[in-house]
Structure 1
């Protein structure tokens, strides 16, 4: 049976880096195994699901290059969930419960107060037909719970290793709400079974859900997939990431911080693994290196500063052909390979190109500390054409004429030519600035 995985976000907020890490790991696993990757929108939470969030999920994944082979939406499958619910009712595995939220809360509080686990007491199973009729007549609508077998539930997790739960220590989960809508615990199993998902790779916050859901798979006579539960990502301070709060949202990283998709992918693919985090320019490289066995049990921390450093390294390695179209879209239509190779070692984000485009193609106010020195230097500029050797030839001549060397020689020339005291190597910038503009700037003119 070929490998099939799924990424199943709820469109109730912006995807954060923790969500996307799970998407990436699923995608890498599928590609490494030659399997397929399903994007499924778990949108049965109708109060909080929004079309704009659904569209944002697709945009984020496409930006990262995580294309999907299949697509599904839970809101299209209500009829299927109802049919499965009827099947479970007929088998005696789904039973009606009439407790209100307040009554259940009091039960939980009482059990906790006694030092007992807050497991549902199955009181609904002891209701008589008359008692149920009385509740119905009073207008109470039941929610429906799945009756768990009190047997051991075990599986071998690809990350956590052997996992064991006692069925008696688990609470019968609610699968259908009072309004008739199915909950995640049911819909996820039905979808995974119907869509032939072979591996469920998700966060470790679902470990207890898995113990419950395995029994639902078994009750439906469906094949139980292989599981991998990844430790949840936190921020650098150890705080959890929240989709509702927009913590570390992919949209913000892309639009506000100028992060390159491969910088984020390079970081998230290796975060929490035994591999070193190094810049990679293609997803194919990450696929070749991927092994889910390398994922450790410890809590990985997402550091925004580490991402920024990685982003700069990605840009420093990126060839001109890979950014030519983006430079044109940013308004730098005349940018060529010589310009890109000159400035990319000094970029942290692609937007930083604008500063050096101004230096080489627009008027700059020079910084002149010693007008006599820069005037002498201007007079020693060689004729064009210029290349990367021109800087060395010219500064040697200025050194011989003025006796200056080191910082006293190079810094005033940089300040006059660029208006800045740092930046790309001037042997690369000088030919781009050109002789006419250089003469005027060395003479103190804005040029």
Structure 2
């Protein structure tokens, strides 16, 4: 059996970090088991689904490092769902209902006042052919409900019916079908809700594992029943905890909170986003993981907490910095070139500054310092200016290398008697205009003797 997973968002907006968590859990699970990853777009909501959103989701996934083995669109598979509907009707487990939303709401209120759970009472099963014809003549069109197998012989006497499965993430889970309303599978206009197309696709695409957010736990009980009604063995299910904003608010595509596009445009590295999205809310320490393959080795869905986790963007900066500090020049060469950093000095420059940047774009400022000098004149006292001038007068002759800085400062110490911060800080300010930054032993050979003398105050 080939492990097959799927990520199935609706293309009605841009995906956020919570959606990405689901995609990554599936991708890493497939990697870990040598399986397949299907990108499926649940686009049966024709009014809100857009191809531009589907394209943007694929772009976001590619940026994260997810490359689907197949791409499918539900809107192109309607005939498959139509066929499943006919099978369910023939089996007597899909029935027509004519209630309006207002009538359903009133019935729920009545059940609550009687101390009963607000589930659908299956009143439509009692409709006669004449009553249905009258509704049709009145312009009503039916929606269709799936008759849950939660009774013995009389559907009006439901009894506890536990659907039990071993969850890939949460362990043993149970849903009592008697506590649920028969779900609507087909709307009045003939379009499909999420449940039926999802199950039909999982059967047709031979999905072996469905890994998604824990807001779907109850849905899983219904879907397992539907798999069996269609004569199929249900896949394994896993439900991971959800992410919230740092203030505890839920994420949504409509609000745009923590969208992948926004995180990318802010200059973050994809593996920083991936590392936090996967490891937060698990028993693993959150740390910067350099590659998807390494993360797959560490990934254990069962190590995930059952409670929601807060996603703090500030943590991304810490991870981003850690990743960049270890990134070799070969991995960023093209991106640095796009930022205007190229030539024979580009590699030693990157190796010199990477320990002092939070985002790759920060290196541009240091490149300007290297090429053009301090962006703001150094603020030196008159005494320090005299000291720096004297120090520049005893600069070593070229060629310069990594040992030049020590040779120079040793000579300056001997000549001026300065030591510690009084020795080094005025020189750093004169050379870079900043009180902190890359090791000057690394920068000095890049500046060269002429470039250094040009910074003499």
Give the TM bin, normalised by the shorter chain.
Answer: over 0.9
Distance in structure 1 (CA, Å) of the matches to 2:57 and 2:148? 35
Residue 220 of structure 2 corresponds to residue 210 of structure 1: yes
Greater Cα shift, 340-349 or 398-407: 398-407
Residue 345 of structure 1 deviates from its aligned partner by 0.2
1:287 to 296, 302, 317: 296
Q: Is the 8 A contact 1:359 1:433 kept in 2?
A: no
Aligned-residue offset at 1:158 = 1.6
Alignment of 1:215-294 (within 5 A): 215-255=225-265, 257-294=266-303
- Name the CA distance, whole Å, in 2 between partners of 1:438 and 1:243: 52
In structure 2, do the counterparts of structure 1 residues 98 and 409 end up closer, same or farther at CA, with 3 Å as the change threshold? same
Which residues of structure 1 form unaligned runs of 5+?
Answer: none
1:368–1:412 CA contact under 8 A, matched in 2: no
* 1:109-128 to 2 correspondences below 5 Å: 109-128=109-128
Match of 1:87 in 2: 87
Deviations 1:155-211 (A, max 9, x none): 111222222222221110000000001110111000001100000000110011111
1:260-312 residue CA offsets vs partner (Å, 9 max, x unmatched): 01111122221222111222211111112222222222322211111110001
Counterparts of 1:72-111 in structure 2, within 5 Å, are: 72-111=72-111
CA distance in 1, matches of 2:325, 2:106: 60
Is the deviation greater in 174-183 or in 287-296?
Answer: 287-296
Query: What's the secondary structure of 1:441's corresponding residue?
Result: coil
2:416 corresponding residue in structure 1: 402
Alpha carbons 1:366, 1:441 under 8 Å: kept: no
- State the match for 1:336 in structure 2: 346
Distance (whole Å) between structure 2 residues aligned to residue 49 and residue 111 of structure 1: 36
Output the CA distance in 1 between the equivalents of 2:317 and 2:252: 21
- Equivalence for 1:412: 426
Question: C-alpha distance in 2, partners of 1:190/1:331?
Answer: 51
Change in 2 beyond 3 A, CA 1:376/1:7: same
Deviation at 1:373, TM superposition (A): 1.4
> Is 1:143–1:176's contact at 8 Å kept on the other side of the alignment?
yes
Q: Is the 8 A contact 2:119 2:181 kept in 1?
A: yes
SS at match of 1:134: helix
Aligned to 2:397: 383
Supply the distance in 1 between the matched residues of 2:115 and 2:385 (Cα, whole angstroms): 83
Per the alignment, residue 436 of structure 2 pairs with 422
After superposition, the C-alpha distances for 1:233-282 in whole angstroms (9 at most, x for unaligned) are 11222221111101100100001x21101111122221222111222211
Q: Distance in 2 between matches of 1:368 and 1:376?
A: 17
Gaps of 5+ in 2: 151-160
In structure 1, what is the Cα distance between the partners aligned to 2:322 and 2:118? 51
Cα deviation, residue 108, structure 1: 2.3
- Residue-by-residue CA offset, 1:109-147 (whole Å, 9 max, x unaligned): 333344432200111111111111111001001100000
Alignment of 1:161-240 (within 5 A): 161-240=171-250
Aligned residues: 442
Asked if 1:367 is matched to 2:378, the reply is: yes
The aligned residue for residue 347 of structure 1 is: 357
What's the secondary structure of 1:434's corresponding residue?
A: helix
TM-score (norm 1): 0.96
Match in the other structure for 1:51: 51
* 1:216 CA drift (Å): 0.6
Measure the CA separation in 2 of the matches of 1:368 and 1:158: 61
Residue 88 of structure 1: CA displacement? 0.6
Q: Distance in 2 between matches of 1:111 and 1:229?
A: 31
TM-score by length of 2: 0.94
